[in-house]
Chain A
């Protein structure tokens, strides 16, 4: 296509890319469960390279053994090169995933249970497990039991109060550093800082581990070069033979040297993205631009368009979570969009699938044609790209101490979290917390309605039953005290989760490519990076604030419902109390309708929780910040939350990320957006997702798309942080429940995920239908 900005024209892949596309399509179709990360096209045969390595190197330091294990796992993964493809490298062997998330090394426990399979005695297997996982989940469990008792600690998860210790997966490495230095250059950097920080064995071992990784990456690329040559020698088709020899040259070059051309750059980027299991490749249109311009000017073995589309096809096949484009330039805040911005958008438009997810950063001066192209892509039924506000995020980052140039360089990652690429380890996330559970404690004398004891016992602040409160303020203050108490312990446990990662050298590869780790000689999870904020996912805000408004208005102010009746109604899950439930639903305002009374309460509750967590520092060094990008947690926490005074039945979903309670917004999209924009989203530096469902009709003409673009932009420029738009016809959604087979293409958003509607369970489907706006 001549003009990547065009909304009318579509990107037509070159023959080579088209062939690659079709091959990927076949593989992707055969692999439905991408969220389960089972995308590796190779069978690992249950062999565990980590166990093998730790057995082989039983007297070596932990960290270098881990590095060897990572390298070994990549080296034994077959070097598959698919026909037609231009850049190579397959992912994701299961064990790499597990290592990345540091859920304890995969199957260390397996060795413990089946020592004979590894030729070990039980004692040796126990020792192996201990060595492979210096700190395990028991580290959190021990403390949790100390605070809440065994039964109580169990309930924190079981009853949906919180999950501490989290996920802590995504961060984006510094692709500039990688591309500027090449792998040999990275080795020089490691050597340099190893000498500067020559102070103790542990640090030196870490640097040695980094060297092992870099050598491994080079060897892996060389192995790919060898494989490409082998295939070339047996290939009779001249075109395909040339593809193989190009791949061999390309891999051999970037195995050591820093890239010059775009083709070389994308191969190196893809290599790190695999090795890091990074799954989010940052501001791709920025760091690749110089290489794109070089190849446009000087030519390349593979055309610049093919190089970019090849990379995007790789991210598609491998279910990459986030590519970030557009926004402002770090140096002067001017618009950063360029040809690559549009080319990447056009590529995902042509692929039209749930992956890769793309986030587009929007600021005041974003060219109109970007929103035009985005709304066009939405109108075609995709729920990507997500739009994010520079005007909200950059000041939000500066508020927690990030200098302006770094703040301007933020990237989206994971399921819509925010970080400074290559410089940070934001918790992402350190834990998630259900505010509605604490609200239940406030209504039930400190207990959950599901069991008869108080978490934390006498140490917990005293609370009353709903019927005993003299005033609304007394109830609110009790809630605030309880929230403060449980937050403190929750944060303690989150920090223990971080200690586990630190001790386990989780995400070892990231240390090399994250600014600060090499320089300071401190690992990625121990405060090595420049920025080390913690991130807490937040559930239940709208349910609690709507409940508070209903109690304040109907019980204490207008006295339409007595405390006794409300308590009885909730205890009965509203059975026999439909009139009261209807009053709660309809006679008190709800968050999401631009109603000041309801929205101010939501602001108050969110401030209460996010100011509370901001009092604490992550053990990595910086403060905790809020986030709200709930996937199935909004639903899972809902299951374990009882009936609430907002009229919600027991077990119903608690809310869709930062949005109103499902079905509560009845005043149109603009009113809903305005309500959300009133929230202190600037304190949600971890990322606050908002899902909006629109009918396709609203996007059916250029004029209407302009209006939708204006609506979204108005939201983003006036307090909103991000928006994900799903387009669908209500009839389609309803029909898809009955005839899932007819609606495989219906892509919707839930939390930060795009997913096929028909793959969702009924609760999730109903939840999406309920927030459908005509």
Chain B
């Protein structure tokens, strides 16, 4: 069994306790309009092209004349015909072409992850599954978490919660901490902003309650989209109602996804302002008051 992985990032301090290695799964069933990891959306491997690093050497056009054309030192890349084989990226001297998405086995990933084993022990850290949506490759996610658990390291998963009950239940067996998204209040609103209804997600959260999981609710706050009093109250209520939820992290909108989207040839880019810090702090206060649980800006 293999999974499609687009990045393995070591020395991550913001994705769970201690020092962690984050494994990014490719592919996501949601289509959040503000998505900041666009290379995680499609499951199939994709070529990312960074024109600023390109020196126009033409190596790629020798490898794949369908996809690449160098004319007057300018690089034309035809994404429409690209099958994502990655040969051009292998041959690109500068790294301006790279392949997001690689088939990897559990062992291959764990070999990389366990390089920092002593550091996990020293810091209480471990592995974090992220994406994309790791549960979109549910069986592989379970297999990876189980392997990590066997090695005795801490396990975390960052998920939208949009998956089958079985997957959630299986994942919960091997997961120490869930970072669980709560992005919109109300089924229709969730469908509008993320492309899928929220019922499944909330049901799965209830399932995690019954499994005694440890959940941190992660809530992106996007001005003009979900930055409403109603949604803030929705976060607080949901957090309060679910026993598995131990804390809430608010994530103000940021623009870091922009560069990556450009490299993927995504031209219609979502943009809005970054929420003000004092308003975010007041949300934290409100949420803590209603839910009785800790709420911070992450």
Contacts and interface: CB of A to CB of B under 8 A. Distances in A.
A586 B93 contact: yes
A334 interface: no
Given A704-B13, A706-B123, A711 B93 contact: no
Contacts of A661: none
Interface in B192-207: none
Contacts of A711: 11, 19, 119, 122-123
Q: Which of B18, B57, B123 has most A Cβ within 10 Å?
A: B123
A670 B119 contact: yes
A594 interface: yes
Contacts of A674: 115-116
Contacts of B93: 579-580, 582-583, 586-587
Contacts of B125: 707, 710
A704 B59 CA distance: 44
A60 interface: no
A739 B1 CA distance: 55
Nearest to A670: B11
A714 B123 contact: yes
Interface string A713-744: 11001100000000000000000000000000
A714 B119 contact: yes
Interface in A558-582: 578-580, 582
Contacts of A708: 13
A392 to B, nearest CB: 14
A594 B11 CA distance: 12
Given A579-B57, A582-B55, A707-B18, A667 B122 contact: no
A582 B50 CA distance: 15
Given A586-B95, A668-B11, 12 more contacts: A578-B55, A582-B55, A594-B115, A668-B12, A670-B119, A674-B115, A704-B13, A710-B19, A711-B11, A711-B119, A711-B122, A711-B123
30 contacts: A578-B57, A579-B59, A582-B55, A582-B93, A586-B93, A586-B94, A586-B95, A587-B93, A594-B10, A668-B10, A669-B11, A670-B19, A670-B116, A670-B119, A671-B10, A674-B115, A674-B116, A698-B13, A706-B123, A707-B13, A707-B125, A710-B19, A710-B124, A711-B11, A711-B19, A711-B123, A714-B118, A714-B122, A717-B118, A718-B118
B210 interface: no
Considering the complex of A and B, which 7 residue pairs feature the smallest CB-CB distances, nearest first? Answer: A710-B123, A668-B11, A582-B93, A579-B57, A670-B11, A710-B122, A583-B93
B164 interface: no
A213 B96 CA distance: 68
B9 interface: yes
A710 B119 contact: yes
Contacts of A707: 13, 18-19, 123, 125
Contacts of B55: 578-579, 582
Contacts of B123: 706-707, 710-711, 714
Interface string A698-712: 100000101110110
A582 B115 CA distance: 28
Interface in B1-15: 9-13
A578 B73 CA distance: 13
Contacts of B57: 578-579, 582
A669 B123 CA distance: 15
A402 to B, nearest CB: 27
B19 A671 contact: no
Contact of B10 (A582, A583, A667, A717): A667
A671 B112 CA distance: 10
A667 B119 CA distance: 15
B290 to A, nearest CB: 25
Grouping DSSP codes into helix (H, G, I), strand (E, B) and loop, the A interface class, with mixed when no group exceeds half, is helix
Interface residues of B, number: 21
Interface in B110-156: 115-116, 118-119, 122-125
A137 to B, nearest CB: 48
Q: Which of B9, B10, B18, B115 has most A Cβ within 10 Å?
A: B10
A579 B73 CA distance: 13
B64 to A, nearest CB: 17
B21 to A, nearest CB: 8
A72 to B, nearest CB: 56
Contacts of A586: 93-95
Contacts of B10: 594, 667-668, 670-671
Contacts of B124: 710
Q: Which of B9, B18, B119 has most A Cβ within 10 Å?
A: B119
Contacts of B12: 668
A583 B57 CA distance: 11
Nearest to A561: B93
A582 B91 CA distance: 11
A579 B12 CA distance: 33
A105 B109 CA distance: 63
B122 A713 contact: yes
Nearest to A715: B119
Nearest to B121: A714
B94 A671 contact: no
B173 to A, nearest CB: 27
A583 B59 CA distance: 11
Contacts of A578: 55, 57
Interface in A649-669: 667-669
A710 B119 CA distance: 7
A427 to B, nearest CB: 34
Nearest to B95: A586
A707 B93 CA distance: 36
Contacts of A594: 10, 115
Contacts of A718: 118
Nearest to A668: B11
Contacts of B59: 579
A303 to B, nearest CB: 38
Interface in B63-102: 93-95
Contact of B11 (A587, A671, A717): A671
Contacts of A671: 10-11, 115
A281 B8 CA distance: 46
Nearest to A579: B57
A731 to B, nearest CB: 15
A704 B122 CA distance: 13
B294 to A, nearest CB: 13
A698 B11 CA distance: 11
A582 B122 CA distance: 38
Nearest to B124: A710
A299 B12 CA distance: 50
Contacts of A706: 123
A713 B18 CA distance: 13
A576 to B, nearest CB: 12
B57 to A, nearest CB: 4
A579 B124 CA distance: 44
B94 A582 contact: yes
Q: Which of A580, A674, A706, A707 has most B Cβ within 10 Å?
A: A707
A587 B116 CA distance: 24
Nearest to A580: B93
Interface in A148-166: none
A706 B125 CA distance: 11
B140 to A, nearest CB: 23
Contacts of A714: 118-119, 122-123
Nearest to B58: A579
A713 B119 CA distance: 9
Contacts of B9: 668
Nearest to A708: B13
Interface in A674-712: 674, 698, 704, 706-708, 710-711
